[in-house]
Structure 1
Amino acid sequence: MRLYKKILRVVLLLLAVALGYGIWYCWRAFPIISGYGAKNLASGIYLQHRNADSVIKQELSFFPVSLASYDIDTKDSSVTASVFGLAKIKAIYRHRIGCTLVNDFPEAEIRQQRFNIPVPSPENRDTIAWPYGDKVAEPVPASVDTVQLQKAIDNAMQALSKKGKPAYTRAFLVVYDGKIVGERYAPGFDKNSPMIGWSMSKSLTAAVIGVLVKAGKLHPDAPAPVPEWKNTDKEKITLKELLQQTSGLDFTEDYGSPSEATNMLFKRGDMGAFTAALPLKFQPGTIFNYSSGNANILSRIIRHTVGDSIYPAFPYESLFYKINMHSLVLEPDASGTYIGSSYSYASARDFARFGLLYYNNGMWKGEQLLPDNWVQQTIQPASANKQKRYGYQFWLNGAGETDPSKRWYPDAPADMYFADGFGGQNIFIIPSKKLIVVRLGVLTIDENKYLREVIQAIKN
């Protein structure tokens, strides 16, 4: 009997511990699930003008996000998500601003924010050759095997994810020598459809930093202008260390469980401030630690540098509209700062335009928009990144690596660099092949395979 009671006490204790852990985990995880679901469903409905069922099926059906339930209020232009009726989080849509989670700030205050974003000048883009308009030049250059290229594009569009599931590739576009030579879209999407860039947004943010460097407002080697860091152990973190993901901040980029990344994106109203307040874990400049938080500090630096009055329009007027990225929408957090790590939407052609800007060393229509040496600095690997695979918010394929097996993509040239986002959003820039390849979808496919097939179709 005594043994039975001891066993019973142990079992009850274990059950209590398990229950306590379960409650603690749900308390942390449910708001993240709700935030992820509300934000992405709202952007799908109101920004992309898609059917809610399609968004839920293709983007929100994986566990544990599939636990969320949604209340869609089209009159309010909002989506409220919850998990078993708990952890309700609301995302609101504002015209030309996109969707924002209502976190840490009252909804009324968020809605009262003024974003004086300019409207792109009206023009008949179909009469102007790409990249300045949308007219695709003909004929295709003789060095392009159009049959082989179309087969490569077909294969990419039909490819399953790496786990054998539908990848929902929505756009695949190939630019050769500055001209569109191949392009295809999934049903329901076309050349004008805005699609999420996820972490390709980091590369866009870095480019805006480049504009400010060219203007003499910022310097990569200077301490990052973050007010909270003065007279602290973080005051010597440089702008370059933020760009190269070597800031040393204690940030975990993990989306499989509650982490700094998920807390920042789905529970915090001022993402840059949240990350800036984190403690140092490493000596700045010594350890490569990929962090969406660094990109949001950069975005906040842009805001503080140019000032609140012109900040909302600044990325568009100073750079993106100049390169004809008229479909671009940069979504802000509740504080009004653009989420520089993750939330940009643009058409495949506009993402290709951004790639072309870097391919052309930061020059557009004869105007040098980025510093003369910006692209060269961008593709220099961070010294703390032992594999030499990261520069200024861009990934590097090999950075001079002569052994293909040591490259990120063995069948692509060593000089390739790329913007990369969750689910296989990519802008691949391959200077030696005069190529830019854009792929947008929901799940990652075999990128090395489709890069190899595209490259083989170009006979240069």
Structure 2
Amino acid sequence: MKMTIVLSVLSLLFLKVCIGQDYYFPKKNDVWETSNQSSQSFNENRLEEAVSFAKDNEYSGSRDLRIAILKGFEREPFHEILGPTKKRGGPAGMILKNGYLVTSWGDTKRVDMTFSVTKSFLSTMAGLAEDKGLINSTTDKVIDYIWDGTFDGAHNSKITWEHLLQQNSAWSGELWGGKDWADRPPSEGGIDDWKFEKPKEPGTIMEYNDVRVNVLAYSLTHVWRKPMPMVLKENIMDKIDASTTWRWHGYHHAWTEVDGLKMKSVTGGGHSGAGIFISAEDMARFGMLFLNDGKWRDQRLISEGWIQKAITPSKPNNNYGYMWWLNKQGSRHWEGLSENIYYAAGFGGNFIVIDKENDLVVVTRWLEPKKIAEFMRLVNRSLN
């Protein structure tokens, strides 16, 4: 009798491994379902402690994001607002277990700027391009696809798609009025030092730089021959039953022409305004797609191969893949948490955290950025 029970349990475990975790995926406009089984995976008191922590540690910058942006990047020469901004709401977030809602706080339907979380969406546009054969490989040189002068010269012609995705391209130039050398300059030196510094060799040093990210967005617009918001809508957001409220903006003057059509080239963040404006619930849907290895229910949207590439550490930075942050050992490591966690992160404390080992997606908005590791440890501690 006991042997039969043990064998049955082992069979169920084997079956779960073979067919994968049974996740819940909400339909369009559904109220997000809860599950007693998922909720029972948490200690209620400790979970409330984590939520209270998120509420009590709101991002300290102004809720008028135009002011917060100008203050946050005041050291950059020539920095200005070039795209739309929006006053933000208060702290908000969701914790999902197996796709079911365990808890939420704040207004999860409110549409807010999401800043560099946009980069993880942009990375996915590159993944779709490779999956569909528009790009043969991320190791290809971009100049073989974009021949309009953007990648001309001895230096820029070396740059690959992977270099752009890992933010180690050291692309040199100007796009939409943004100068690569003026974006997040070093802590030491003056304008002449930054401006005339010799560019790094592509692939050797990660430099977080929105001008270069916007070069990726521009390049993908020409490869797809479509605006990135349309590509995202048709290939991802419509298929994950996202709301109709999200938007992806570019700078006011960032127009290009493809096939005789004028189209907007969007940004990969809100550094000078623009980027993706989105609700916590739509962010959670995007997170669920990655938790389930690129499938929404039974429909494959992104290849598993791409996701594995996207979350592989780059050589210059062990904590960064293809525009996803990785919880590996390094300067961004969250001590005491799984090294397999990866996440999208944006200015002002916007995060989509994927914890595959615990079947969790955690979305938190307007959390003081330095508090994210402590918050995630509280979430982890609340698991039974």
TM-score (norm 1): 0.60
RMSD of aligned residue pairs (Cα, Å): 3.0
Alpha-carbon spacing, 1:235–1:279, altered in 2? closer, same or farther (3 Å):
farther
Aligned match of 2:320 in 390, 398, 402?
A: 390
Q: Does 1:135 align with 2:65?
A: no
Q: Does 1:192 align with 2:109?
A: yes
Which residue in the other structure is 2:146 paired with? 226
Instruction: Give the C-alpha shift of residue 364 in structure 1.
Output: 1.2
Aligned match of 1:409 in 323, 328, 334?
A: 334
Mapped contact 1:161–1:445 kept (Cα < 8 A): no
Distance 1:200 1:432 in 2: 22
> Which secondary structure does the structure 2 equivalent of 1:323 belong to?
coil
Mapped contact 1:157–1:170 kept (Cα < 8 A): yes
Distance 1:135 1:438 in 2: 14
Mapped contact 2:156–2:172 kept (Cα < 8 A): no
Identity %: 24
Instruction: Give the C-alpha shift of residue 235 in structure 1.
Output: 1.5
Mapped contact 2:93–2:108 kept (Cα < 8 A): no
For structure 1, which runs of at least 5 residues remain unmatched after alignment? 1-127, 253-257, 264-277
Alpha-carbon spacing, 1:162–1:413, altered in 2? closer, same or farther (3 Å):
farther
Mapped contact 2:284–2:352 kept (Cα < 8 A): yes
Kindly provide the amino acid, as one letter, of the partner of residue 158 in structure 2: K
Distance 2:25 2:323 in 1: 30
Mapped contact 1:129–1:136 kept (Cα < 8 A): no
Q: Does 1:282 align with 2:231?
A: no
Which residue in the other structure is 2:118 paired with? 201
Q: Which has the larger radius of gyration?
A: 1
- 1:115-194 correspondence to structure 2 within 5 Å: 130=26, 133-139=30-36, 141=38, 142-159=40-57, 169-185=90-106, 190-194=107-111
Kindly provide the amino acid, as one letter, of the partner of residue 54 in structure 2: A
Q: Does 1:337 align with 2:271?
A: no
Alpha-carbon spacing, 1:198–1:148, altered in 2? closer, same or farther (3 Å):
same
Deviation by residue 1:394-422 (Cα, 9 ceiling, x = unmatched): 11111xx4xxx976211321111110111
Which residue in the other structure is 1:79 paired with? none
Alpha-carbon spacing, 1:161–1:318, altered in 2? closer, same or farther (3 Å):
closer
Which residue in the other structure is 1:97 paired with? none
Mapped contact 1:348–1:438 kept (Cα < 8 A): yes
> Which secondary structure does the structure 1 equivalent of 2:206 belong to?
coil
Which residue in the other structure is 1:313 paired with? 230
Mapped contact 1:194–1:328 kept (Cα < 8 A): yes
Distance 1:391 1:448 in 2: 19
Q: Does 1:363 align with 2:303?
A: no
Which residue in the other structure is 2:132 paired with? 215
Q: Does 1:426 align with 2:354?
A: no
Q: Does 1:448 align with 2:369?
A: no
For structure 2, which runs of at least 5 residues remain unmatched after alignment? 1-23, 64-87, 175-179, 186-195, 256-263
Mapped contact 2:288–2:361 kept (Cα < 8 A): yes
> Which secondary structure does the structure 1 equivalent of 2:26 belong to?
coil
Kindly provide the amino acid, as one letter, of the partner of residue 177 in structure 1: N
Aligned match of 2:239 in 322, 326, 340?
A: 322
Distance 1:168 1:364 in 2: 29
Q: Does 1:261 align with 2:183?
A: yes
Kindly provide the amino acid, as one letter, of the partner of residue 211 in structure 1: L
Aligned match of 1:377 in 297, 302, 309?
A: 309
Distance 2:363 2:346 in 1: 11
Aligned match of 2:166 in 240, 244, 252?
A: 244
Which residue in the other structure is 1:270 paired with? none
Instruction: Give the C-alpha shift of residue 226 in structure 1.
Output: 2.8
Alpha-carbon spacing, 1:262–1:395, altered in 2? closer, same or farther (3 Å):
closer
Kindly provide the amino acid, as one letter, of the partner of residue 183 in structure 2: A
TM-score (norm 2): 0.71
Kindly provide the amino acid, as one letter, of the partner of residue 35 in structure 2: E
Deviation by residue 1:183-228 (Cα, 9 ceiling, x = unmatched): 010xxxx232112111111011001111111100012111113321
> Which secondary structure does the structure 2 equivalent of 1:212 belong to?
helix
Alpha-carbon spacing, 1:312–1:351, altered in 2? closer, same or farther (3 Å):
closer
Deviation by residue 1:109-151 (Cα, 9 ceiling, x = unmatched): xxxxxxxxxxxxxxxxxxx962653332333522222332122
Moved more, 435-444 or 211-220: 435-444
Alpha-carbon spacing, 1:159–1:231, altered in 2? closer, same or farther (3 Å):
closer
Moved more, 223-232 or 210-219: 223-232
